[in-house]
Amino acid sequence: MLHAVTLHYIASAHSLAAQIDAHKEWLAEGFARGLILFAGPLSTGKGGYILFHADSAEDVNTFLQGDPFVIDRLVDCEQVSIEPLLRAADFPASWAGAAKVV
């Protein structure tokens, strides 16, 4: 199952900058564990986006609790889960379960 998480900044740029290296280390752990597929800042500059691949939303939520941005209450998180039903041929089947190729 895929899980989209949008981080909305609720703290000052200074507070975020103080934790950015720790946040990046946390992201690297997620990539190493195969939980995070991609991550990056929003074009608005008001947050970030992370796409997870995990068995459950609870697994993602548990991992999110280790993010320094979350621990220090620098962001609000919006999490949505999806089980893809259709996928492009070049989208990895391992990320889309039983989705049909279109």
Q: In this predicted model, what pLDDT tens digit does every residue of 15-29 receive, in sequence order?
A: 999 999 999 999 999
What integer best gives the mean pLDDT of the chain? 96
Q: Report pLDDT for 38.
A: 97
Computed on alpha carbons and rounded to an integer, the radius of gyration of the chain in Å comes to 14
Say which DSSP state 5 is in. Answer: E
Sheet of 2-9, strand order: 36-41, 47-53, 2-9, 75-82
pTM for the complete prediction? 0.93
Q: Are 19 and 74 in contact (CB under 8 A)?
A: yes
pLDDT digits (tens, 9 = 90+) for 64-98: 999 999 999 999 999 999 999 999 999 999 999 78
Q: Report pLDDT for 97.
A: 79
Using 50, 70 and 90 to split pLDDT, how confident is the model at 8? very high
Round to the nearest angstrom and report the end-to-end CA distance of the chain. Answer: 19
